[in-house]
Structure 1
Amino acid sequence: MYAYSTSSFTGSTLSVRSFSSDTTISNAFFNLPQMSLFRSLFGGGQADGEEENGAEVVETYVERVETCSAPEDRRDALRALRSLAKKYRLAVGTMGMNAYIDILEKDRMNAEAMTLVLDTMATVLSSDDDNSESDELGERLAEVMIKRSGFIPSILAAVDQFDFGVRRTAVQLLSNLLRHRGPEVQNAVMEQPMGLSKLVDIVHDNREVIRNEAILMVCELSRSNSQIQQLLAYDNIFNDLLNIIETEPLDSIVVEDCLFVCLNLLRKNSMNQQLFRENQLVARLGAILRTFLYGHEETEEAEVDSTEWAKQRTANVIFLLQIIRTLVSPENTSQNTHAAQKVLYHTKILSELCRVLLSEIGASVEILTETIIVVAEAIRGNYTNQEFFASTSIENGEDSSRSSLVVLLISMTSEKQPYKLRCAVFYCFQSYLFDNEFGKTKIIETLLPSHQPFSNNFPTTGALIIQAISSGESIQAWFGCVTLMHTLYQVDHLCEQLLRVQLTLVTEEPSLSLLEHVTQLLVSTGNRRPQTRAGLLMLLGVWLENCPPAVAAFMAKDANMQYLTTHIGLCFHFCIMDLFKVL
């Protein structure tokens, strides 16, 4: 989801030439058996033997670090250990632990030695396979490091140094530790006075490399810890991250990392959501969204960019949409969700999102899908937002327009649209109907005879729903049935109104009621298309509940009762058979 920068190494393997200039190191190196030496350097022999020879080389260099009095010898030994750290992680990490801790605690003024030690420890915690979900060796080494007394304070002290190499490698080491042993490191940082504040201050570093490493570290530091998330928010981390986003290019991966941190801090954290709103940061999200969509030189008269977007720009927009969605998620407290919905309306973010749905800006299916879901949760249960959404429209020729509801239903009932997009539209329509009796009534009215729902020139929401119910595509029929079901749900008087709907499917034949049409579809489907049958039964279940006229009309047809009794009998038969199998 976000990228990790890798440490740079001076070399991944040893060479005889690189040590020939230093007599002390060379003598120690060549005291090993020559055949073992060349096997360890250039391969050959059994893997276990190679590992054993590598451990002997590591042990020699660790001894030189601990015993050499000449700074040059000690430095070269540390460089050698760093070059071996990737290949012999276990040996370098365990044999040199005492030497590394000693340097971190007692030799803090030696920036070069500190950098080498921190880089070596960060390297032994990194797996060769970046896609690997688990790294048992890294977990073990991280655990050993954290348990050493004074280790975390030493790392925080290194982070506090201004030297480029020391600070950068210290942040990388801390990130690796957090990935392997997150809760333990989080607790250790919290126990240190001003420990969290020191880490937040690194985000202000003017050196972009260190700043970017710090953002990645905060990503891990804020994961699954509400207390740290709140403390980071009170340290104005939101402002810092938004400032970085506003200065970065649209296709910068740093933007994605910043947005990911914001998402971590806001998701399921009501206190941070409230603080985010009170600091008027939602409006800044709107400004950033407009910049992402239309570029830095956006004006009201500017033409919409219809060119294909870069992948990173698409990823950045999706993360931004997920942050907005987090603020209005139904998982939040109702108070937080409703307050965020009001802010989205007043800051015109909802208007901008509706504009995305009804215009062609070159956005991918992923962005359109995420935008539809954000709009769905921004209007769910909020009558003001629901009415604003229903009032938006797109021009369709010189003298006509189509409402956003019609545009969405056309997308939902089109077999050419991607499945995930159709599901998002379905969810958006349900959110519009949620706790919106007035909106439900308006949809039912489009089905009544005076509205001519099957006009070819001006399709209505009701007409599109009926067309979906009658479709031969199972998923489309299910969408139509469940949408109409939600329109009737908990509004009994609309169930009676729906009985007035008359359909003329074939010109030469007389019209029939919508209830007759639905029951005919159910009976004629038989045992085929189970998804369609499920949708039709769900619709009938809600329609017939608390509506005696609908029940009477349904029971007046013998075919309907025969269908129900037959299937109920079959269900009872299978239940009895299963019971006998158990007994």
Structure 2
Amino acid sequence: VVEKYLHIVLCLLKNNASSQSYFYQKSNIQHLLDVFELGSISKKDCSIQNMIIRALVSPKNRKENIVACQRIIYQCGLLHGIWNMLTIPTIPAQIIIEVLLNTVGDVVRDNIENQAFVNSVVNTSGAIQESTLFNLLYAMICDEEKSFSLQISILYFLQCYLHKNKIGKSIIIQTLSPQTKNAANQHTMDYFLRSGYLSKDIVASWCSGILLSYLVVNSPKSKEDILKAPSLCHTRVAVLIFICTLLSNSSPSVQALVSIENGIAYIISQIRDQSMEDDRELLIQSLCAFALGLYVICNNNKIPSCSSESIKQIIEEDIGINLFQ
């Protein structure tokens, strides 16, 4: 009976602004907390109730409904209850994959108060190796038994958690700072992200690149901090996305990258290559063209050989304007 009732509630809440408003205004969100009592955890019930929570905070909803529901979910202790489930060893992995990470991600997305809660619990021990972020990065990148669905769920949670979250970004970026005695340490978030780039596992490489791009997007301070880290290895699409994000509105980033030997030459060679027929290669070519455009727009012209005018001249005379039309 309860399960059927929950399914009806879920159907009423999906994409229905008036039902969502009525649901939280009548204090019904608080009743969802009961399922997170340790004695009442089951995959079926937990999945349905988390689907209801996600329906209340879906990005498709009205902004005012999302904000109100996110606030109530935090204030009534529901977010704390969901988070506690992530730390219970006996919880089936499938529940974590399908339910918990995605639900927490939606609840904290673009919400300073809820992100602050996660900031306070991701590293409560003070030791990075014992933190939740450490464990999630390990599971996403290095765990030999990792599944694709778990990797993507972790990446989605991290994207939501880092969205406009300066403190959350700094927690990870500070691990990328140059290290001396810990340089060979294989148990740091810094090591995980770098090994992700070098990995032959294309999903781990992709996730590492996308996560790094989220660390620096719309954050000049993060871009400056990450430039202090040792050089990152260039991979393909994931790294190009990261580079484009790093270059955007950041003259120091442009200056640092144009100083890399053959960096501009590589990008130009990819743009000029007319033999690309594979969609993935065309995507790489497009990203290289976008990166070159950022070189022009965000260049501080401190390196004469790579000034905006010199790159424009290369585009006009060597590459050809027609290629971009």
Report if aligned partners of 2:108, 2:115 keep a CA contact under 8 Å in 1: yes
Q: CA deviation at 1:554?
A: 2.1
1:378 to 98, 101, 107: 107
Q: CA deviation at 1:499?
A: 1.6
Matches within 5 A, 1:286-365: 286-287=33-34, 289-291=35-37, 293-295=38-40, 313-365=42-94
Report if aligned partners of 1:273, 1:327 keep a CA contact under 8 Å in 2: yes
> Partners in 1 of 2:70 and 2:226 — Cα distance?
32
> Partners in 2 of 1:453 and 1:386 — Cα distance?
29
2:116 to 370, 373, 387: 387
The verdict on how the C-alpha distance between 1:451 and 1:373 changes in structure 2, with shifts beyond 3 A counting, is farther
Structure 1 residues 433-442 or 325-334, which shifts more? Answer: 433-442
The verdict on how the C-alpha distance between 1:453 and 1:536 changes in structure 2, with shifts beyond 3 A counting, is farther
> Partners in 2 of 1:452 and 1:404 — Cα distance?
24
Q: Deviations over 1:115-137 (max 9, x none)?
A: xxxxxxxxxxxxxxxxxxxxxxx
Report if aligned partners of 1:318, 1:367 keep a CA contact under 8 Å in 2: no
Matches within 5 A, 1:109-124: none
Matches within 5 A, 1:467-482: 467-482=195-210
Given the alignment of the two structures, is residue 256 of structure 1 paired with residue 6 of structure 2, yes or no?
no
> Partners in 2 of 1:376 and 1:400 — Cα distance?
21
1:568 to 249, 268, 271: 271
Given the alignment of the two structures, is residue 402 of structure 1 paired with residue 130 of structure 2, yes or no?
yes
Given the alignment of the two structures, is residue 418 of structure 1 paired with residue 155 of structure 2, yes or no?
no
Report if aligned partners of 1:468, 1:476 keep a CA contact under 8 Å in 2: yes
Q: Secondary structure at the match of 2:61?
A: coil
Task: Return the TM-score normalized by structure 1.
Answer: 0.44
Report if aligned partners of 2:128, 2:188 keep a CA contact under 8 Å in 1: no
Given the alignment of the two structures, is residue 276 of structure 1 paired with residue 23 of structure 2, yes or no?
yes
The verdict on how the C-alpha distance between 1:344 and 1:449 changes in structure 2, with shifts beyond 3 A counting, is same
> Partners in 1 of 2:3 and 2:139 — Cα distance?
30
The verdict on how the C-alpha distance between 1:494 and 1:283 changes in structure 2, with shifts beyond 3 A counting, is same
Instruction: Tell me how many residue pairs correspond in the alignment.
Output: 277
> Partners in 2 of 1:416 and 1:345 — Cα distance?
33
Query: AA paired with 1:488?
Result: V
Q: CA deviation at 1:319?
A: 0.9
The verdict on how the C-alpha distance between 1:406 and 1:488 changes in structure 2, with shifts beyond 3 A counting, is same
Partner of 2:169: 440
Report if aligned partners of 1:482, 1:538 keep a CA contact under 8 Å in 2: yes
1:499 to 215, 224, 227: 227
Q: CA deviation at 1:454?
A: 5.0
Given the alignment of the two structures, is residue 554 of structure 1 paired with residue 257 of structure 2, yes or no?
yes
Q: Secondary structure at the match of 1:446?
A: helix
Greater relative CO (CA pairs within 8 A, separation 6+):
2
Q: CA deviation at 1:377?
A: 0.4
Q: Deviations over 1:337-396 (max 9, x none)?
A: 111111111111111111111221332414543111000001001111112113225888
Report if aligned partners of 1:391, 1:404 keep a CA contact under 8 Å in 2: no
> Partners in 2 of 1:451 and 1:332 — Cα distance?
48
Q: Secondary structure at the match of 2:110?
A: coil
Report if aligned partners of 1:266, 1:323 keep a CA contact under 8 Å in 2: yes
- In structure 2, the gaps of 5 or more residues are 283-325
> Partners in 2 of 1:401 and 1:555 — Cα distance?
35
| % same residue | 25
2:238 to 531, 535, 547: 535
Report if aligned partners of 1:345, 1:351 keep a CA contact under 8 Å in 2: yes
> Partners in 1 of 2:123 and 2:258 — Cα distance?
44
> Partners in 1 of 2:181 and 2:160 — Cα distance?
26
Report if aligned partners of 1:544, 1:551 keep a CA contact under 8 Å in 2: yes
Report if aligned partners of 1:354, 1:375 keep a CA contact under 8 Å in 2: yes
> Partners in 2 of 1:486 and 1:388 — Cα distance?
20
Q: Secondary structure at the match of 2:262?
A: helix
Report if aligned partners of 1:358, 1:394 keep a CA contact under 8 Å in 2: no
> Partners in 2 of 1:451 and 1:356 — Cα distance?
37
Report if aligned partners of 2:20, 2:65 keep a CA contact under 8 Å in 1: yes
